[in-house]
Structure 1
Amino acid sequence: MGQHRSGLLEKVLLRRARAFWSRAAMSAGTTDLSLLRGQRNEARILRHKLDELTHQADSRLALPRIGSMSFPKPAGTDWSWRPQLWRGALPFKGLSAVESKTMLGDEVTIFHDCQISELTLRQLRNTREADLAPFGLRMDVFRFDGSFLSLVLNMPQSACDGLMRRHLVRMEAIVEVEKPLEIFARLNVRHGPNTEQIVRELPLSDDKIMVEFDLAYTKLNEKRVEAMWIDLIFEGPEMNQVTLRDVTLSRNPRAEL
């Protein structure tokens, strides 16, 4: 009962506040300047709070929902993952003059060897009907005086648990580029003192960007798997804008022959 009365009171107060500001706006042309100055200050404070509310509401209410791990997976998939960068909000919206080894959340790190960084990064809220990931990453590269640029995705320990040579590791992505460039994905699996590496070029011309890493062609020691990570390597990124709308990984056992 108390909550019901509180809700009614809030509605009454909101109606009165809207009516007050409507009258103030209509009479602003003739209001005494000292009074108008005070109203302007209060309106600015109120607008700031309303903008904060609107921003948070748009983010939380927009689809896809924040935290979503949902995406299509092959039959027999026994592990799947979407990095936190694409499923949850970072503590910052954007970065400029990004230095090498800058971390984007707990799982993604950027590496480059530029003397002067003209690289900016911005996390976007995905709202398109085709998007399954709540967030995307936009990377603007202006002058580039380095020899390499990569994003490293550190995969969780669960990706290593039970990993076998008969596994296929699949990576799917939604990528938008301002002008053509090459992007390579390199899977790294550390087992004991050794690291297996498999490189695939992303087929950016395809509607569905997907690559698979077949561990059968490695010398993986299944009993000593310690860590896995993916390097996304961007070749010739200068004066380009790359938007990664989604990146997902999964694994499934290859069918026995």
Structure 2
Amino acid sequence: MALGSNILQRFYQRGVSRYWAHLARRAERTDLEALRSQRRRARNLRQHLDTLISTAESRLALPIIGSNSFPKPHGTDWAWRPELWREPTPTKGIAAVGNKERLGTEVTLFHDCRISELTLRQLRNNRQRDLAPFGIRMDVFRFDGSFLSLVVDLPPEAAQDLRRSHVIRIDTIVEMEKPLEIFARLNIRHGPNTEQIVRELPLSKEDIRVEFDLAYSNLNEKRVEQLWLDLIFEGPEMNQVILCDLTLSRRPRAEF
């Protein structure tokens, strides 16, 4: 039944295509009253076709929405791409972003500007080399504050069975209008204390990657509660920064 239905549908589509092709060829000779009616019907049809084409291009564009696929180090026991880089958010962008304002459920912007001239917006990635479905763009105009950071809350799985023998790696793709410094600070709450490890992102390299070796921390493995990541932007005024991707992975350190 389905096969017969598909055959009939193909014949119908060919007939519709031939019909409009015929009208298009005769348009120069069609009387004006009939041409006006054909134009109205063609415009209605074009509206539906444009909607279909736009939706199809968005859905079929690489990478696929929801993708959590990215290269992982050998031995990885946990890997994650934050939701803002995987799924569309109900709110696509925020203007005049206030302190502690969230975009999505996991990302929060912190700053101490007296007057906010900051914007955040989720972008759809569609370049073939992009692995993340979405990116995030931050526009900074006048900046009268002393700090600006984007905080990403890690899921509970990141803290589960975390040991000082682990290495946590961050991979990101960053585009900017002009050079600036970005620092990544990994925060691990264990009991009443919070361990903080800071690394500067090597923005001059093609592969922007930093690793946090927990062997050099004072982590209390029995009391690990929560992890979060701060991306700290130094000198962000009059700049546009696009984080095309952000992924985190965890693996046991190789023993020699």
- Assess same fold via TM > 0.5: yes
Residues 1-257 of structure 1 aligned to structure 2 (within 5 Å): 1=1, 3-19=2-18, 21-22=20-21, 23=23, 27=27, 32=32, 36=36, 39-40=39-40, 43=42, 45-257=44-256
Specify whether residues 223 and 48 from structure 1 end up closer, same or farther in structure 2 by C-alpha distance, changes over 3 A only.
farther
| Post-superposition offset of 1:254 | 1.6
* Alignment TM-score, normalising by the size of structure 2: 0.87
State how many pairs are aligned. 255
Does 8-17 or 131-140 show the bigger shift?
8-17
Q: Counterparts of 1:94 and 1:20 in 2: how far apart (Å)?
A: 44
Aligned AA for 2:73?
A: P
1:109-134 deviation per Cα after TM superposition (whole angstroms, max 9, x unaligned): 22223333322233222233332222
Q: Identity rate of aligned residues, in percent?
A: 64
Does 73-82 or 52-61 show the bigger shift?
52-61
| Post-superposition offset of 1:163 | 0.3
Aligned AA for 1:36?
A: R
- Structure 2 SS opposite 1:88: coil
Q: Counterparts of 2:90 and 2:135 in 1: how far apart (Å)?
A: 14
- Structure 1 SS opposite 2:36: helix
- Structure 2 SS opposite 1:136: strand
Does 198-207 or 136-145 show the bigger shift?
136-145
Specify whether residues 110 and 49 from structure 1 end up closer, same or farther in structure 2 by C-alpha distance, changes over 3 A only.
farther
Specify whether residues 12 and 110 from structure 1 end up closer, same or farther in structure 2 by C-alpha distance, changes over 3 A only.
farther
Q: Counterparts of 1:44 and 1:104 in 2: how far apart (Å)?
A: 38
- Structure 1 SS opposite 2:241: strand
Does 78-87 or 142-151 show the bigger shift?
142-151
Q: Counterparts of 2:251 and 2:159 in 1: how far apart (Å)?
A: 13
Q: Counterparts of 2:99 and 2:225 in 1: how far apart (Å)?
A: 25
1:55-76 deviation per Cα after TM superposition (whole angstroms, max 9, x unaligned): 3212222222222222222222
| Post-superposition offset of 1:179 | 0.2
Q: Counterparts of 2:104 and 2:26 in 1: how far apart (Å)?
A: 47
Specify whether residues 14 and 211 from structure 1 end up closer, same or farther in structure 2 by C-alpha distance, changes over 3 A only.
same
Q: Counterparts of 1:170 and 1:144 in 2: how far apart (Å)?
A: 31
- Structure 2 SS opposite 1:161: coil
Whether the aligned pair in 2 keeps the contact of 1:28 and 1:36 (CA below 8 Å) is no
Specify whether residues 11 and 154 from structure 1 end up closer, same or farther in structure 2 by C-alpha distance, changes over 3 A only.
same
1:128-173 deviation per Cα after TM superposition (whole angstroms, max 9, x unaligned): 3332222222222222222222211111111000001111111111
Specify whether residues 30 and 129 from structure 1 end up closer, same or farther in structure 2 by C-alpha distance, changes over 3 A only.
same
Please tell me the root mean square deviation across aligned C-alpha atoms, in Å: 2.6
Unaligned runs of 5+ in 2: none
- Structure 2 SS opposite 1:249: strand
Specify whether residues 29 and 159 from structure 1 end up closer, same or farther in structure 2 by C-alpha distance, changes over 3 A only.
farther
Q: Counterparts of 1:147 and 1:29 in 2: how far apart (Å)?
A: 70
* Alignment TM-score, normalising by the size of structure 1: 0.86
Specify whether residues 32 and 116 from structure 1 end up closer, same or farther in structure 2 by C-alpha distance, changes over 3 A only.
farther
Q: Counterparts of 2:121 and 2:36 in 1: how far apart (Å)?
A: 39
Q: Counterparts of 2:76 and 2:175 in 1: how far apart (Å)?
A: 27
